[in-house]
Every structure is written in C-alpha cells, then in structure tokens.
Structure 1
Amino acid sequence: MVHRGSTMKKIKSVAFKAADKNRRQERFDSFKKRLFYIFGQLQSRGWVRTGELAEVFNVSSRTVQRDLESLRQDQVIRADETEQGRWLFNGETQSFLKMNVTDHDAATLAFIYKLSKIFGGEVNKSVLQSIDKLFLLDETSYPFFMITPRVKNPDMTLPFYKDLYRAIQEKLMMNLTYRKGGGTATVKGAPFALIMSEGLWYLGYLPGEPGKFKDIRTVRYANIVSVEPIEDETYEKPEWVKDALRNARNIWFGTQAPVKVVLEADNYVRDYFEACDYFPQQKIGKKGAKTFPIECRISHPNEALSNILRFLPYIRVVSPPDLKAQVLERVKTYLKK
C-alpha cells in the first residue's frame, strides 16, 4: 500500500524539479547567456567541463559542444589532454584583460551587472563580479574598463559625460566639484579614465598641478556636481601612474609597493573566505583549533579596512601595526556616535 502522504511528497518533489528545470532553461536559453556563464567559469577557475555545462544549462552535450566549438576555433579554449571533455582557458593567445570593448558595450555590461544581482546564483557570483576586471582599452592591462583616447563614439546620456570624455580625450586639466559628506568640495585635477568597478562608475583623476601629481584619486560618478575643463591647460600622465593602475585590484590606487598583511580569523567565518577573495592576493592558511591565518597584500589601507570591519569581531589584524591602529580608530569613532 502506498500512503497518501508519501505520494503527495513525491508529486511535490517532481513538481519542484520540473519548475527548477524550466527556470534553468529560461536562464540559459540563448548562446549569449551561456557564453557569459562559460566566460565566468574560465575567469574564476580556468577550465570548464562539457558534462557540467550541459547539466547547468539543462541542454544536451551536443549543444554545449557547439557553443564550445566557436570558442575553440577562436583559440579562447583548448582541449585538456589529460581529461576528456575538459576545456582549458588558452592563456597563451587570449586575455580577458585585452578585450576590445566600446563605450556602448561597457554601459550594457554595467546594466547586466546590476540586473544579475536580482538573479543571484552562479550568474552573479562567477560572471558579473569579474566584469569589472575583464574589459579595458589601453596600452597596458589594468583590472578595470577605462575610457581612454582610443575609444570613439561616446555614449553621452550620463550627466557631464560630454565634458569629461573630451577632457580625457584631449588631456585637459579640469575643476571638479563633487559631493563630500554633507556638502561639496572642489578640486583641480587631470581626469584620465572612467572606471566601472563593482557595477558602479567612477572618475579617475590626478589631483594637483601638471608635473606635480603625487597620487591617484577616484570619485563616484553619481557624486559629481559639476565639471569645468580648463581649455588652455593640458597634462601628461606620469609613468608611475601606469604601474599603479597595473597593480591595482580595486578603486583604491596605492602608489607604494604592496605591503604584506597578516590576519587571524575565527573558524566560524572560514567558509566565506574559501568561497570568495575579500582581500587582494588573499591566501588562507591551515585551519587551527579555533582560528586560521589569512595573508594578503595591499597598496592602500582602504583595500582591507572595509572587509576587516565587515567581519568583526571574528577577525583580527596581526600585522602591520599601522593597519591595526586604523581599525581600532574606526571602531572608536563608531562607538562615539
């Protein structure tokens, strides 16, 4: 005899699986959607498997093979000689950091990034968290999309875009006013790029006078109040700027050599650090009785501060002492409010 409750559970299970199958079919119902996922997997782990992709996409292995064949012909991937059905990112001939992307492409990517947060899952985790590191256009590889003098046909739908674009193209100095705290601030500087990071647009600029630039700063695009290009004053980007951009992993551009940071975290939060890199060049050590070590390298304190504060009280700074002092100062300031 089959109990009615048992039968109902089976029906619900079958219905749930069918609904999940339909959702996956809709999610990856085009080559473009599947391609974004494949690029995300290649970016995050360097390889994909035909069988795994067929299961994720809920399509036949033959469909996946057709998708991968176009990438193989373009030499983006190559067959793994040690495992059948496994494909490796062909780093010898391709680099995500050198893809040629137009302004329109970048705007589309920014929109997709925000949209992905609604979908969640692997699309947001694998593909779109890396978009800010995939696309750029400059003579060297930086981990951001940058609008430089090579890019043509700008999208002028954003406020101040026309003036900023021209200033970047013609290397004009400018007076920039932006929101800061409860008011505004005005600074003179050299705009060199528009940067998309974590789904948000920033303006990268060098504060000060031509020939006297000492650091790189960024301001969120949404906080810009006004832009005034200085028509008769141009600038040249110093060589050290290229090195700073090349070594950057976020919008905090440090001009000093990366400093080693040692952290200690409770085992309670280890899963988070195994699943995601919260710090530049993050390395996690062996699990101890109660804690585990984390090492990273930063060129600017803000590369680490926000995520250290995020994981308090489960994380502590071992070294360097000045970073530990800054964390303590931030906590004291918060407690006073």
Structure 2
Amino acid sequence: MRASRLLTILLTLQNRGLVTATELAEQLEVSVRTVYRDVEALAAAGVPVLAERGPAGGYRLLEGFRTRINGLTNDEADALSLAGLPGPAAELGLGAVVASAQLKVRAGLPAELRERIERARPRFHLDAPGWYREADRSPELSRIAGAVWTDRRIRVHYRRWAGEVTREVEPYGLVLKAGQWYLVARIAGAGERRDRTYRVVRIEELHVLDEVFERDPDFDLAAYWEDWSREFAEQLRPIDTEVLLTEDARRLVRPMFGAHVADVVEASAGEPRPDGRVRARLPIETVEVGVAELLRLGPGVEVLGPPELRAAIAATARATAARYG
C-alpha cells in the first residue's frame, strides 16, 4: 500500500510540478502527516524532492528529473491499451497524437508489461453509439476541440427545437455521450454565469475568434455534466404518472425507459399488493408519448393517473382490439 502511495506521489509531482501536502493528502485519502513521512521516504531513496516554504509553497521535483514508468501493476498495464480510444480521438483530430503517445509510453515499460498490453489490444473494443443509432458526424468538431484547448471564443449558429440562434460563447469542454458530442460553453459577456450545452452536430456555422477568454478556475466539467444530465432528464419527463406494475414489467423499466425513469420507479415503489403488483411513480414526457411508451409494457402495467392518460390508453387498447376482431 505504501509503495503504491510513493509511486503516486512521484508521478503526481512529475506531471503537475508544485503540489501542496494538503492536495496530495486529499488525492491519496491519507493525513497530511502521512504525506510528510512518505515524502521523507522518497528523499531517503534518492528522489530529489524539494520543499518550498510559505503560503504558495509545496513539493516539487528537481528541475529536469524524470523517472521511467516501471511501477505499473499488471491491471494498470492491461488498462493502458484502452486509453485514448481511437474513434473519438480521431474525431477530435488527435488520432495520430494519441497513437504516438501510447507508443512512447509502451516503449518505456518493462518487457513483461509491454507483452500484456499487446495481448489486451486485440481482445477489447469499445463501440460508443447505442443500438439503431449512428454516431454524430460534424465537420466542425476538430475546430471546436482546438478552440477548447486554446481558450478561444467562438461564434456559433445553432439549430435548436425552438428555432435557430447565433451566439458568441466561451467553449469550456466537450463531452461524448452514447456516440453524440456535446459542447459545454459559457455565453460570452453575460452579466451572470450562464453555462449552456450544445449538441455539436446541430452547429450549422462556426467561427473561431481571435479573442482569448480567461477560464473560470472553479469550473468542473464532470460535475457540470452530472448536474446538467440529471436536470435534463427531469425536464424531459415533467409529468408524473401513478402506475401498478407487475414484477415482470418492473424489470423491463430500466432497459426500456432508461436509468432516470427506473430510479424514480424504484424510489417510489410501495410494498407488493396481494396480486404481486406494486404502485409507483413513472415520469413521462407528454400524454401522447406516454401512451406509446406504456403500451410497450402490455398488461404488465395499469395506469391509475392522470385520468387523461388512463383514458387515452384505454381508447387505444379498445381500438387495437377492434382492429384485430
């Protein structure tokens, strides 16, 4: 365990430069005192760790010191072959760069770990898009990635459901979700913080501007995406329905409706009734969409409300039965 911590400290200092003891303690989930002892152990082993005092101080390695990557575990070596996925990297214009970087990293590994990587590469493949859906193809993606990397403002002409809009934005990051690329950006010149998410394939025109913006150091792309995704799912299905579900239908909710709906159902599900069914909430987008979705569960679901949804499902079921005589 300690050997792993020492290697993590060494690689962190090598990659990040000056790092405080508090930052290392938070990363390693240990006390600051433990970090002090580990740094002393590194120094005793001949690693040139320098301590800089004062409010802006911390630990750093002697300028020019580098270490070979020879502390990887077998599992880490296996995972290395999955880093830098070729498809998304190529779409961002980084395919050759990623391939070159992986080649250099593998060259610095011991022979036995290089062999593990070569064994893993032909055994695993990631296909990001969902079934029956093609991945987004946007000719502007690599240019957007360049603007994200260089912190340059962009002007986009964007096609949305409510019409088209032209905006000048500060591109903060790109997210790949199920084969679809999204741009996370802040509206330029806004008096208050206004972060927005744009689907890249809907950007009709793009102009990369000369102006460089100053990134908000507190912005966390992963945290923003998690919050936005949750709010988007809630806004997409604003109508709550009350349903009775059989056990078989309940098991189908997650693969048919997705994680958000399944989580709502599970959180609201009551105790099983004598007939085995449970009462739960199930959010839908609109009554019309709800009819089509809930009929997929067949007799495994009974809608209790709202009344207009129950009536619409009953009417559709009668019409279907009449069609088949």
TM norm. shorter chain > 0.5: no
Using the size of structure 1 for normalisation, the TM-score is 0.40
State the TM-score, normalized to the length of structure 2.
0.41
Structure having the larger proportion of residues in helix: 2
